[in-house]
Chains A and B, each alone.
Chain A
Amino acid sequence: MNGCDRMSDSHQKVLQTRLSNGLEVRLKEIHTAPLISNWIWYRVGSRNERPGLTGISHWVEHMQFKGTEEFPEGVLDRMISRNGGIWNAFTHLDFTAFMEVMPADQIDLALRLEADRMANSLFKPEEVNSERTVIISERQGQENQPTFRLAEKVKAAAYQLHPYHHEVIGEMADLKRITRDNLYAHYRSYYVPSNAILALAGDFECQAMLDRIRELYEPLTSRPKMDFLAQIEPPQQRERRVTVNGPGETSYLEVAYHAPRGSDPDFMALTVLDSVLTGASGLRVMGGGLSNKTSRLYHALVEGEIAAAVSGSLSTTVDPYLYGIWVTVRPDQTPEKALDVLDGEISRLIDRPVAAEEVAKSIKQARALFAYGSESITNQAFWLGYSEMFADYSWFEEYLDRIAEISPEDVHAVAQKYLNPANRVVGIYQPVTEKAHV
């Protein structure tokens, strides 16, 4: 192991290093199953998009499946699948990630594939055009959901300057006009070694894996990464409200508070607050929390017979994002009534500290969810890279210790700091009833 390699102190050692071209590498040996999970993370997402080019990061992610000279489209799918692997990709606010889970003896294919498509994707014009309609179809599928339409409007109201203003999928008008050259330029700007982290966990020996990674990735030319400065969103001065009308019979309420970034010292206290208010959320790749029937808002809204369901969403992001509270309103109630009841619970949090027992319960739930989330090799590999997108790996390693330190007073302080009406957007989906017909 050379001088720049560093092993973390966690009970399962993590090798952390940087190649000469700037590519960060994280490796974690886990020998519980003959599998390896490989993730490559690029620091580019909808946060890096300008008006007129919204959705371009997600589209580039799609184009990464369209082949290179070495791995033409179709060959990629076939090779991963016939080797028993699975692969996927995700574009989010701050990142684009590509993953493969492979039988351990087949991992070289994934390593070669990701090294190749970091630099050599073709972006053929005909592929760009056929993918345009696929992505438009993806957006139309999302538009079918009232919750997507509401969330889109709430974000647009919450962010007037910062690119968190728009959905990851992008605006329809932009999807219709983005060109092959726009896409290729975006790809070349952000898909560079110094803007990426390669993270693997699973059944391998660290040193041998690192040697192979150096062999494949170090020859990739180091190019300067795009230095994109997202506009800073000024503090919101007063409450904003949006209403969306659409088909259906069900009303939804979203109340979104501006929240701190994932690395902020306040984040853990807000995590406990969310657990008390709307229920504990998980640390799995695809979410997966617990039931929330003992949370304060479930008691007030669902047991209070105002709502059919309630949930909360707190995200770990690079820049300050939103803490969203979602309410599915019962047909015999109104979103305004739900907001009144919700506000009563918010006032309780602001007026006095939560009980020590509520905090203790949140800590135990966090411990259980952390254990569930640590089970799979894929989840371990996910956190190796994902934590670096908004903080660093110590965020994940120290998560339970930091949660355990949170006191009722800490929760009280963040409630007073963030849960003010002036700091929020209230969104209502109001159905325009029109029965389906056959």
Chain B
Amino acid sequence: MSKPNNTLPKLDIRSLPGPDNILRRELENGIIVLARENFSSPSIVVSGFLRAGALDDARDKAGLANLTASALMRGTKRRSFNDIYETIESIGAGLSFAAGNHSTAFWGKCLAEDLTVLLDLLADGLRNPSFPSNEIERLRSERLTGLAIRDQDTGARAKLAFNKLAYPDHPYSIPSDGYVETIERLTVADLQEFHKDHYGPQAMIICVVGAVKAEAAVDAIEASLGRWTNLNKSNQPELPPIKTLQGILREDVVLEGKSQCDLVLGIPGPSRFYPSYIAAALGNNILGRFGLFGRIGDSVRKAEGLAYYAYSTIEGGLGPGAWQVTAGVNPVNIKKAIKLIQQEIGRLVTEGVTEEELNDNQANFIGSLPIGLESNEGVAISLVHMEQYGLGLDYYQRYPDLIAAVTREQILQAARQFLNPENLAIAVAGPGREHK
């Protein structure tokens, strides 16, 4: 078998999203609209976000941003819950809202012939929610059921415990879907006030991709949301600084009756604005993603057979999201799995990566770009990402060169800045105590 060569893939730059095929317009009220045409199928995706999220929640109202987002489709001043869903489902379209820490995102999809209907519902939900009390009560009950399910989910419990360890006294330690005791206490007035104070067009991004002329798409957004104002919208609070982790912080959550443990291990990582973010992302790919889970997969899954999944993630985002390793492991193997993962983190920050690993992963990042941009959803996610982080309309056309320019030294520096096998938050959720 011939050895793969070390050249990097060459992409047809003109086929990638760029200034010549993306229409960008900033509306007078501050909304930034992006549109890209794709007539290969008769459908359209609309997605974006506005700056209202769990960071805006008071501590005793955790989950408010999230519940407010879910309640937007429960009734508006013009439509009842049933009117909204009869309209959307009868045309085979979809529309949903969800809040994270920093923002409330929306996602919609429809046939090209129904774009006006979808945008009308989107604008109505954003601008005119009525939060009918009977619907909010039902939503609350559904949410409480969801929290009861979360309470028994080993993966979710390990992540919650990890966030508490890694982000002490920080908003990232609080789950955006809240707690039973906070959700039970939220009132319709809370939702109304949250909407009044935090929903507005300022810094909102909306993106339309699919079978519609870009000019027509932007005009349609302007017609539905261009006159929306909220001069009272408050600014999101500044994130407090992250405390540096010292030593190994460990928490074990025991869930009797389960068969397997979930393990989350890591530290607060870089935001997407970190200057060497791409180097960190390449380092992460080598650590726990490339092929079937990178070096960690080789060690924990392939060599030792300890886990079905064991991979690393670098969350990036607007703030210091986690750089973490996640694994599903039998309780008796937890100690061994943690040791192997620590060894791989140690190897990354002492030895760095090899030239061959760097080249393989650069090729992987560049070569996989067309797959990520194949669907309307993929393009919409990419356009929002580009705008959100100020990467420039030509970002994806520059992307192959940006990846190719990363050096081994940059990866080593980025890894050393964040990772240390002796300073980690480790959370385990699963059966019994034999894993401790």
Do A and B interact? Answer: yes
Does the CB pair B363–A84 fall under 8 Å?
A: yes
How far is it, in angstroms, between the C-alpha of A327 and the C-alpha of B364 when the chains are bound? Answer: 42
Q: Does A99 contact B (CB under 8 A)?
A: no
Picked from A73, A143, A436, the residue with its CB within 8 Å of the CB of B152 is A436
Q: Does B94 contact A (CB under 8 A)?
A: yes
Q: A81-B364, A375-B376 are in contact. Are A365 and B370 (CB under 8 A)?
A: no
Nearest-CB residue, chain A, relative to B142: A308
Write the nearest CB–CB distance from A252 to chain B, whole angstroms: 10
The interface residues of chain B lying within 8 Å CB-to-CB of A434 are 256-257
Q: Does A309 contact B (CB under 8 A)?
A: yes
Query: How many B residues, CB 8 Å from partner?
Result: 79
How far is it, in angstroms, between the C-alpha of A309 and the C-alpha of B96 when the chains are bound? Answer: 16
How far is it, in angstroms, between the C-alpha of A136 and the C-alpha of B301 when the chains are bound? Answer: 12
The interface residues of chain B lying within 8 Å CB-to-CB of A303 are 138
Does the CB pair B308–A134 fall under 8 Å?
A: yes
Q: Does A280 contact B (CB under 8 A)?
A: yes
Does the CB pair B363–A82 fall under 8 Å?
A: yes
A-binding segment of B35-43, B48-56, B224-232, B238-246: B35-43
Does the CB pair B92–A369 fall under 8 Å?
A: yes
Does the CB pair A130–B145 fall under 8 Å?
A: no
Does the CB pair B93–A436 fall under 8 Å?
A: no
Q: Does A8 contact B (CB under 8 A)?
A: no
How far is it, in angstroms, between the C-alpha of A436 and the C-alpha of B156 when the chains are bound? Answer: 13
The interface residues of chain A lying within 8 Å CB-to-CB of B376 are 375
Q: Does A138 contact B (CB under 8 A)?
A: yes
Does the CB pair B154–A144 fall under 8 Å?
A: yes
Q: Does A330 contact B (CB under 8 A)?
A: yes
Q: Which chain B residues in 136-170 approach chain A with CB under 8 Å?
A: 138, 141-142, 144-146, 148-149, 151-154, 157, 161
Write the nearest CB–CB distance from B233 to chain A, whole angstroms: 29
Q: A375-B376, A438-B254 are in contact. Are A305 and B366 (CB under 8 A)?
A: no
Q: A70-B1, A248-B148, A331-B144 are in contact. Are A365 and B374 (CB under 8 A)?
A: no
Write the nearest CB–CB distance from A120 to chain B, whole angstroms: 12
The interface residues of chain B lying within 8 Å CB-to-CB of A305 are 138, 141
Q: Does B259 contact A (CB under 8 A)?
A: yes
Does the CB pair A79–B85 fall under 8 Å?
A: no
Does the CB pair B157–A294 fall under 8 Å?
A: no
B-binding segment of A28-36, A190-198, A222-230: A28-36
Q: Does A11 contact B (CB under 8 A)?
A: no
A-binding segment of B190-198, B215-223, B290-298, B380-388: B290-298
Q: A78-B360, A247-B255, A375-B43 are in contact. Are A137 and B92 (CB under 8 A)?
A: no
Q: A135-B308, A137-B308, A137-B329 are in contact. Are A330 and B256 (CB under 8 A)?
A: no
Query: How many A residues, CB 8 Å from partner?
Result: 79
How far is it, in angstroms, between the C-alpha of A280 and the C-alpha of B92 when the chains are bound? Answer: 9
Q: Does B19 contact A (CB under 8 A)?
A: no
Q: Which chain B residues in 88-141 approach chain A with CB under 8 Å?
A: 88-94, 96, 109-111, 138, 141
Q: A249-B151, A291-B85 are in contact. Are A143 and B370 (CB under 8 A)?
A: no
Nearest-CB residue, chain A, relative to B135: A303
Q: Does B316 contact A (CB under 8 A)?
A: no
Nearest-CB residue, chain A, relative to B255: A436
How far is it, in angstroms, between the C-alpha of A369 and the C-alpha of B258 when the chains are bound? Answer: 37
The interface residues of chain A lying within 8 Å CB-to-CB of B257 are 246-247, 432, 434
Write the nearest CB–CB distance from B260 to chain A, whole angstroms: 4
How far is it, in angstroms, between the C-alpha of A131 and the C-alpha of B146 when the chains are bound? Answer: 34
How far is it, in angstroms, between the C-alpha of A369 and the C-alpha of B91 when the chains are bound? Answer: 10
Q: A141-B328, A434-B256 are in contact. Are A374 and B149 (CB under 8 A)?
A: no
Write the nearest CB–CB distance from A270 to chain B, whole angstroms: 19
The interface residues of chain B lying within 8 Å CB-to-CB of A436 are 151-152, 157, 253-256
Write the nearest CB–CB distance from B290 to chain A, whole angstroms: 6
Does the CB pair B1–A75 fall under 8 Å?
A: yes
Write the nearest CB–CB distance from B174 to chain A, whole angstroms: 17
The interface residues of chain A lying within 8 Å CB-to-CB of B374 are 33, 35, 376-378
The interface residues of chain B lying within 8 Å CB-to-CB of A428 are none
Q: Which chain A residues in 212-260 approach chain B with CB under 8 Å?
A: 246-250
Q: A84-B364, A134-B308 are in contact. Are A371 and B42 (CB under 8 A)?
A: yes
How far is it, in angstroms, between the C-alpha of A127 and the C-alpha of B149 when the chains are bound? Answer: 36
Does the CB pair A247–B9 fall under 8 Å?
A: no
The interface residues of chain A lying within 8 Å CB-to-CB of B330 are 133, 136-137, 140
Q: A79-B4, A309-B142 are in contact. Are A130 and B304 (CB under 8 A)?
A: yes
The interface residues of chain B lying within 8 Å CB-to-CB of A302 are 138, 142
Q: Does A328 contact B (CB under 8 A)?
A: yes
The interface residues of chain A lying within 8 Å CB-to-CB of B42 are 371
How far is it, in angstroms, between the C-alpha of A248 and the C-alpha of B252 when the chains are bound? Answer: 18
Q: Does A361 contact B (CB under 8 A)?
A: yes
Does the CB pair B369–A84 fall under 8 Å?
A: yes
How far is it, in angstroms, between the C-alpha of A303 and the C-alpha of B81 when the chains are bound? Answer: 10
Write the nearest CB–CB distance from A202 to chain B, whole angstroms: 10
The interface residues of chain A lying within 8 Å CB-to-CB of B398 are none
Q: Does B189 contact A (CB under 8 A)?
A: no
Write the nearest CB–CB distance from A288 to chain B, whole angstroms: 9
Q: Does A50 contact B (CB under 8 A)?
A: no
The interface residues of chain A lying within 8 Å CB-to-CB of B161 are 438
How far is it, in angstroms, between the C-alpha of A146 and the C-alpha of B150 when the chains are bound? Answer: 12
Does the CB pair B367–A103 fall under 8 Å?
A: yes
Q: A35-B374, A84-B371 are in contact. Are A291 and B94 (CB under 8 A)?
A: yes
Write the nearest CB–CB distance from B294 to chain A, whole angstroms: 9
Q: Does A101 contact B (CB under 8 A)?
A: yes
Nearest-CB residue, chain A, relative to B94: A290
The interface residues of chain A lying within 8 Å CB-to-CB of B364 are 81-82, 84
Q: Does A132 contact B (CB under 8 A)?
A: yes
Q: A78-B291, A84-B368, A101-B371 are in contact. Are A331 and B148 (CB under 8 A)?
A: yes
Q: Does A418 contact B (CB under 8 A)?
A: no
The interface residues of chain B lying within 8 Å CB-to-CB of A367 are 92, 111
Q: Does B350 contact A (CB under 8 A)?
A: no
Write the nearest CB–CB distance from B107 to chain A, whole angstroms: 12
How far is it, in angstroms, between the C-alpha of A352 and the C-alpha of B269 when the chains are bound? Answer: 60
Q: Does A106 contact B (CB under 8 A)?
A: yes
Nearest-CB residue, chain B, relative to A280: B92
Nearest-CB residue, chain B, relative to A139: B259
The interface residues of chain B lying within 8 Å CB-to-CB of A246 are 257
Q: Does A71 contact B (CB under 8 A)?
A: yes
Q: Which 6 A-B pairs have the closest CB atoms?
A: A84-B367, A368-B92, A77-B291, A247-B257, A130-B305, A308-B145
Given pairs A131-B305, A291-B89, A293-B89, 9 additional interface contacts (CB within 8 A)? A83-B9, A84-B363, A85-B371, A103-B370, A140-B259, A280-B89, A290-B89, A436-B157, A436-B253
* A-binding residues in B (CB < 8 A): 1, 4, 9, 12, 15, 40-43, 81-82, 85-86, 88-94, 96, 109-111, 138, 141-142, 144-146, 148-149, 151-154, 157, 161, 251-260, 290-292, 298, 301-309, 328-330, 359-361, 363-364, 366-371, 373-376
* B-binding residues in A (CB < 8 A): 32-35, 65, 70-71, 73-75, 77-86, 101, 103, 106, 129-141, 143-144, 146, 246-250, 279-280, 290-294, 302-303, 305, 308-309, 328, 330-332, 361, 364-369, 371-372, 374-378, 432, 434, 436-438
Show 15 residue pairs from A and B whose CB-CB distance is below 8 angstroms, ordered by the A residue: A33-B15, A77-B290, A80-B291, A83-B363, A101-B371, A137-B330, A141-B328, A247-B257, A280-B92, A293-B81, A308-B145, A328-B149, A361-B90, A375-B40, A436-B157
